[in-house]
Chain A
């Protein structure tokens, strides 16, 4: 909390379009700047000059790969927002890119900031006053609540299960080591160390596997995706604009990999959702517009995490519906009835969808918030996020944690190979557990003693 380490976070709201800023604050800020940023003005000119914007290249410290061209500015303490050394890295605004830059800073030694931590530091260092601080408190509270909800939602999920699954063998390993330390006269068999090492090797491979799934994961790269499906003029483009409009701006408009499709990544409460508009789907044969369009759109369905099935509320006939829903197969969909601002002629009895029905008007924005909420809830609360082992919202945090676990376990393996005594091995195991604890909850001494006393007959 008063930790004087160096923190990093994305400073621009997600979906701010053109430019993204990663902010780093703390004693290592300059050093991190040197690692992730190279520019002619810096290399030749002997480092960062305070409060001056430098142009250069951002790169990842792990493999030296270049990420983007960008700008960097270092604001030396106390003339900065937090009154600590603050580094800002400006890059292009794509969600994936910003996050990679953030990851680079973490790899270079920063810690992912907690919600509101910059402001908190600013306050604690006397930069802002109590009135401002009170709003900070609310901020911290509401953010914390949200992340708590999120944590809750993810608890059942695949990813957190993976974390919990790692905690158990780690705790057992630690218990074995600790029992060996604290009960030298009880009959704790020293050969247990072979077991410990095996267990750690197992966890290690699991961590590595998870990490590799992170870096290759489609979801990490692109966010989750929702496909807009419906016949032409049903209002797909307007809906896309409405969804991404005003408070939810476009994050990036990557040109679609398939020329037919238009994609935009929007941010729903911090959750990046790639919305794919099948508007480009046309057939030149007017007589079979529907058929051909539907067929080609359905090809894309398999790639989507969620389908928004659009129906025009002003028309009565919806012959396309059975074909569409049949084609969707197992892919979950929301029914969206468009043009709610106009007189509705649609037969409501037709409309049942397992995930719900939503009436919207892209013109007066009626129902748009509700739809956003439905989409968000679908991804967050049904644990869809976790289902392919790479949650989106906190993935940087997860990755950060996994990297720390990995480091500690490597330390452990090295120490064990050198034949270091158990109290030093315990240090590494504790570090790994405490990193995991950010997801699984802290491991208390009592938890540890529980494992020790239930595994060994100990005590006089």
Chain B
């Protein structure tokens, strides 16, 4: 092994969506950072669907942006169709989703990485961590170079011992067209990590020239497209449509006829696949009564004829793939450019992580992204930025950050992972967040900008802009509280126009805004001050006023849990010495070694009584923050 001359402060292994955010965060925080990837042509690749966002995922993207990450800006610059989902539901569950031009997406991210100060981007496959005794010192690569570093962030995605399945044919690969990463996961196992196997899959890519789009229903972008980043003013990319197609009974028949050669049904695949992302054969088998399944045919870019049929992933053999795609209306002549495939890969049980994403077994080693059992670009990026920040903070000798369940989806995800682990690829849903009404896309900056600024990722100008916005919101809230109806003739008329003639003189504008039939849109007719308001401020005030009751309810719950969340459990806690714990609970606690009482309470099988006992012990040890 040749030891490279530079000693890095943070080494990031893998330049997928997790790795890119991790490397950028560390470098931007001033750490000498190295980003290694199997191939420099394969950075920030969207392995599967050509889109970013969606329910809960869009939320993650906004949070990454608020913390000072790149994903939102990258999709804003390369997105070719933007839509806000759930516009008819409340603000908490509205989310953006954008189609990306895949190549542009990857190339822009590559450029950002290359231009980043403090960051070296190099090609190389890491085959092992380099340890001296128990101490992590760097990484070894296949080409014989040893890179020394103080911290290492592993973001290997689907690559560790990747195995690709097309029908009963299988071969090693990290992704179609890429080599697998071999050796690393064996070493991790040897070090005591619980390495498991998961499975996912992707549909075929179809040649747009052979699709009859005139027979499909088109779905267009919102106008104007709404960007993800709080810093993006306008989307400037040309916008193109997606198309909706359907399977039919014949498609299902063809699929059934190929099941005997499906690796899943033939038992060749041992990894567990996601329930929410079922292959088309899964859908057909599990819902035999459904006569058709819908698919969105999504463009992979502006400059390509490749199309991605969402929801049609499969690991059926190629002849069946060709036949069933062609059985769909509009696709009769379709040519497959890349076959669909399933992939199995190694992941590491995330209960072996702290909520900082540092591993409990090896200090200075962090895991982020699909290696932790998640699936999805946004999930990966959200962990990536957190791991990057904490690796950098560690190097800088500062306290790590942990994001709470009450302040972010990233926090919910990480907490779920480290307290519950996962048996199937973990994807974010809004239903996973108990404080869903507080964790909105629209207020991601209010929730997280401060943290991004404190760690050094958000620059002064952006932060000043944010502070200004926050102050305006406060002022406007004060103003609508203080301004009252005088019920002069104008206002009287206005009231009867909107069906609220029951309103009395002296009613505050805040009260008005709380009525379902009234928003700023209506209010501005009797309130000249509204016109001058910034749209983002208006939105915040309106949401905060309208949902105040619900928001307060959730804040109250958070307050109740706060102590428990803040009570830290020492890493060397001797659970065996605690009387009153059942052996089952004790075993669970030994295995998970929770960092806080809150985490302990969420581990399955740890009873409220056990948590009470722990609380008493902690208090006795004086390890807890002081009581009110």
Contact = CB atoms under 8 A, between A and B. Distances in A.
Nearest to B219: A185
Given A133-B616, A184-B86, A1 B275 contact: no
Contacts of A134: 579
Interface string A137-158: 1101101100010000000000
Contacts of A460: 49, 277, 296, 310-311
A449 B275 contact: yes
Given A1-B615, A460-B49, A444 B604 contact: yes
Given A1-B608, A141-B580, A445-B431, A181 B49 contact: no
B579 A453 contact: no
B43 interface: no
A125 interface: yes
A182 interface: yes
B274 interface: yes
B276 to A, nearest CB: 4
A423 B440 CA distance: 12
Contact of A182 (B55, B275, B553, B597): B55
A304 interface: no
Nearest to A126: B627
B278 A181 contact: no
Given A445-B431, A459-B276, A2 B563 contact: yes
Contact of B290 (A183, A422, A444, A457): A457
B627 A423 contact: no
Nearest to A419: B516
Interface in B496-551: 516, 550
Interface string B588-628: 00000000010001001001110111011101100000010
Contact of A2 (B93, B431, B437, B615): B615
Contact of A184 (B49, B85, B274, B601): B85
A423 B612 contact: no
Contacts of A133: 616, 619-620
Given A116-B612, A140-B613, A182-B55, A4 B275 contact: no
Contact of B276 (A5, A421, A430, A458): A458
Given A182-B56, A449-B276, A457-B293, A424 B616 contact: no
A128 to B, nearest CB: 11
Contacts of A144: 607-609
Nearest to A178: B431
A427 interface: yes
A57 B553 CA distance: 33
Contacts of B580: 137-138, 140-141
Interface string A108-148: 00000011100010011110001001101110110110001
Contacts of A185: 85, 296
Interface in B276-312: 276-278, 283, 286-287, 290, 293-294, 296, 310-311
A187 B90 CA distance: 20
Q: Which of A126, A137, A421 has the most CB of B within 10 A?
A: A137
B189 to A, nearest CB: 26
A183 B55 contact: yes
Given A457-B290, A459-B277, A449 B429 contact: yes
Contacts, number: 140
Contact of B560 (A3, A426, A453): A3
B430 A182 contact: yes
Nearest to B55: A182
Interface in B402-423: 416, 420
Contacts of B612: 1, 114, 116, 120, 140
A298 interface: no
Interface in A160-187: 178, 181-187
Interface string A1-33: 111110000000000000000000000000000
A137 B276 CA distance: 43
Contacts of A426: 431, 436
B274 A459 contact: yes
Interface string A416-460: 001001111011001000000000000011101100011001111
Nearest to B604: A444
Nearest to A136: B616
B250 interface: no
Contacts of A138: 579-580
Contacts of B436: 423, 426
Contacts of B581: 141
A293 B274 CA distance: 73
A323 to B, nearest CB: 50
B600 to A, nearest CB: 10
Contacts of A459: 274-278, 311
Contacts of B111: none
B276 A124 contact: no
Contacts of B553: 427
Contacts of A183: 55
**9 residue pairs, one from A and one from B, having the closest CB atoms:** A141-B580, A2-B563, A144-B609, A460-B310, A460-B311, A421-B90, A459-B276, A453-B275, A421-B89
Interface of B: 49, 55-56, 85-86, 88-90, 92-93, 274-278, 283, 286-287, 290, 293-294, 296, 310-311, 416, 420, 429-432, 434, 436-437, 516, 550, 553, 559-564, 567, 579-581, 597, 601, 604, 607-609, 611-613, 615-617, 619-620, 627
27 contacts: A1-B597, A1-B612, A4-B559, A114-B608, A115-B609, A124-B627, A130-B620, A133-B620, A140-B616, A141-B579, A182-B93, A182-B431, A183-B55, A184-B55, A421-B88, A421-B90, A422-B93, A423-B92, A423-B430, A426-B431, A444-B604, A445-B431, A449-B275, A449-B276, A457-B293, A459-B277, A460-B311
